[in-house]
Each structure stands twice: as structure tokens, then as C-alpha cells.
Amino acid sequence: MDFHCHLDLYPNAREVCAQAVERNTFTWLVTTSPRAFTATSKVLGGHANVLITPGLHPEIVHDRFAELANLLEQIKHVSAVGEVGLDGSRRFRHSYEIQREVFTAVIAQCANVGGRVLSIHSRQAVRDVLAVLDDHPGFGTAVLHWFTGSLAELKVASDKGCWFSIGPAAFSSASGKALAKKLPRDRVVPESDGPFAQVNGAAVMPWSSDDTAELLAHAWDLSVDEVKLNLEFNSRRLIGLIHTAD
């Protein structure tokens, strides 16, 4: 299973996709722009266990905000959305106001159409992401991907009912390990965030959920089998929420 993967951006995307179809029960392919969603749906679409969703990545919003209307239209016809969100890190500060406009419009649209499941980027922007969600009750279900906020922010997000997707690369730092310990265990699913996320210089692959289970088992002081069952159970629930939004 993989709940956040840029399958279309691996150098050998067709081959990686074919393997993901075989090896995973479920792969969520998040696209980074409305046009990428359309193109990727044509090239990699048609597999029952690969969910392809429209998004507008905060790191490219400054180039692509003109595609917002297209994204809002696409959201009407899908059950899940991503990758969307806010990035408050220094590199993308310059586009923060436009990012916020785009993200607010996306969340408002999700609420308008009865709720969607969203894979959300929140690097150095957790408070603002949560504020936008708070302003739009009925937006659906938020899955915060590769959460890197503070422990206090994790608690706030968790208390609001957010889900979390986490992959092997998140355990590379001490702060990532500390956060992993505190994730709400009934709302955690595996992700790769490949090919961007890397471990030991290699892109994390979509079939890395067993590695994530091992890392979580260590963080939670449980057996790997217990964590695998837990992740499977959570994954089924989240896929159920996606289907309900259909």
C-alpha cells in the first residue's frame, strides 16, 4: 500500500506503475498540477488499484495558479484530491499568499461538493493549513503527508481528526522519529512520496510499506506483525472513506 506517491515522476514510470499494480493492493498517485492529472490519467490510468488524483503542489503554485479553475472543475468529478497544501519554508515564502488563495479555494470547493479525501502538504505551515480546514466544515478528510511540524502541532492536528501518511524517509531525522512515536495509531497509513523521498540515496519505491511497518514497530514498541495489521486496518478504513466520497 502507498497513500502518497508521485508514480508519474519516476524516470521509468510505466514500469514502476506496472510493478505497483502487481505488488500493492492500493497505490495513491498524487499529481502536482491539473494538467499533469489529465496527462497521467491517460498514460497510467485504468488500473483498479491505482488511484490518480488532481492537485496543485504548493511548490509550483507560483507557475501554475492559472490552472486553478481547471482543478476546481476536476474536483467535482473525483473522490480524492492531492497533492495540495501550503509550504511556508523560505524557498517558497515568496508565493505564500497565492498558495493560500489556491489552497483555500480547493478546500472550499471540497466542502461545496460534499467532501473529499485530501493528501495535504504542510511543511512549515501546519497552523495555516489547519485554519483553512477549520474555516470549511464539511471539506472531508485530511491526510497530512510527511508531517514535519512540532509535537504541539501534531497534537492539534490529531485532535482535529486528521490522518497521517508516513514513509521510510520520515524516519531519517531525530525529529521525524519523535513525531512518529506520537502519531494517532488508528489514523496512520503508509506512503512512499517517491521518487522525491530518498533513503540512502535511492528513491523510495511504492512497495515500501513493509519498511514503514518495521520503522513504526520500533517507534511504537510493537511487533512488526501487529503494526502491519494495524496499517492494513487503517488503510481499509481510509479507502472506505474515499469510496464514500464517490
Q: Is 202 helix (H, G, I), strand (E, B) or coil?
A: strand
Q: Which stretch binds Mn ion (CB under 5 A): 8-16, 97-105, 193-201, 228-236?
A: 193-201
Choice between 196 and 220, CB closer to Mn ion: 196
The nearest distance, CB 190 to Mn ion, in angstroms, is 14
Q: How many residues bind Mn ion (CB under 5 A)?
A: 1
Choice between 123 and 228, CB closer to Mn ion: 123
Choice between 67 and 193, CB closer to Mn ion: 193
Which residue's Cβ lies closest to Mn ion?
193
The nearest distance, CB 138 to Mn ion, in angstroms, is 25
Q: Which stretch binds Mn ion (CB under 5 A): 13-21, 126-134, 189-197, 236-244?
A: 189-197
CB 80 within 8 A of CB 50: no
Tell me the three-class secondary structure of 77-139, residue by residue. Answer: CCCEEEEEECCCCHHHHHHHHHHHHHHHHHHHHHHHCCCEEEEEECCCCHHHHHHHHHCCCCC
Please choose, from the candidates 18, 13, 33, 20, the residue with its C-alpha nearest in 3D space to the C-alpha of residue 191.
20
Taken in order 66, 67, 73, 79, the sign of the CA dihedral is negative
The nearest distance, CB 14 to Mn ion, in angstroms, is 20
The nearest distance, CB 217 to Mn ion, in angstroms, is 24
Among residues 193, 205, 206, 241, which is the contact residue for Mn ion, using CB under 5 A? Answer: 193
The nearest distance, CB 141 to Mn ion, in angstroms, is 18
Choice between 128 and 193, CB closer to Mn ion: 193
Choice between 121 and 228, CB closer to Mn ion: 121
Q: Which stretch binds Mn ion (CB under 5 A): 85-93, 151-159, 187-195, 219-227?
A: 187-195
Q: What is the DSSP string of 137-196?
A: TT-EEEEEES--S-HHHHHHHHHTT-EEEE-GGGGGSHHHHHHHHTS-GGGEEE---TTT
72: cell is 476546481
How far is Cα 16 from Cα 205, in angstroms, rounded to an integer? 8
Choice between 192 and 230, CB closer to Mn ion: 192
Residues that bind Mn ion (CB under 5 A): 193
